[in-house]
Amino acid sequence: MSGTILILGACGQIGTELTLKLRSMHGNERVVASDIREGGEELMSSGPFEILDATDANAMEEVVAFYEVEEIYLMAAMLSATAEKFPERAWNLNMTSLINVLQLAKEHKIDKVFWPSSIAVFGPNTPKERTPQHTIMEPSTVYGISKLAGERWCDYYHHKFGVDVRSLRYPGLLSWKTQPGGGTTDYAVEIFHNAVKGEPYECFLKADSALPMMYMDDAIRATIELMCADSDNLSVRSSYNLSAMSFTPEELALEIRKHRQDLEVVYAPDFRQQIADTWPASIDDSKAREDWGWKPAFGLEATVEVMLRELSR
Verify binding: residue 53, ligand NAD, rule CB under 6 A: yes
Instruction: Give the footprint of ligand NAD on residues 148-177 (CB under 6 A).
Output: 170, 172-173
In this structure, are residues 240 and 226 in contact, taking their beta carbons and an 8 Å threshold? Answer: yes
Please confirm, yes or no, whether 143 is among the known catalytic residues.
yes
75 near ligand NAD, judged by CB under 6 A: yes
Exactly one of 143, 157, 170, 187 is catalytic; name it: 143
Instruction: Select 36 or 259, whichever has its Cβ closest to ligand NAD.
Output: 36
Closer Cβ to ligand NAD, 4 or 146, answer by number: 146
Position among 123, 139, 183, 280 found at the interface with ligand NAD (CB under 6 A):
183
Among positions 109-138, residues that touch ligand NAD (CB under 6 A) are 116, 118
Taking CB under 6 A as the criterion, the residue among 79, 110, 236, 275 binding ligand NAD is 79
Q: How many CA atoms lie within 13 A of 114 on its CB side?
A: 28
> Does 242 contact ligand NAD by CB under 6 A?
no
- Which residue has the CB atom at the shortest distance from ligand NAD? 12
> Residue 6 corresponds to which amino acid?
L
**Of the residues 47, 139, 144, 180, which one makes contact with ligand NAD according to CB under 6 A:** 180
Q: Is 185 in the site for ligand NAD (CB under 6 A)?
A: yes
d(CA 71, CA 22): 12
The rounded distance, in Å, linking the Cα atoms of 9 and 16 is 9
Strand 49-51 with 69-74, pairing = unpaired
Calpha distance 299→82 (Å, rounded): 28
According to CB under 6 A, which one of 14, 32, 110, 196 is a site residue for ligand NAD? 14
9 binds ligand NAD per the rule CB under 6 A: yes
Contacts of 58 (CB under 8 A, 6+ apart): none
Answer yes or no whether residue 13 interacts with ligand NAD by CB under 6 A.
yes
List of residues contacting ligand NAD (CB under 6 A): 8-9, 11-15, 35-37, 53-55, 75-77, 79, 93, 116, 118, 170, 172-173, 180-183, 185
**Residues designated catalytic:** 143
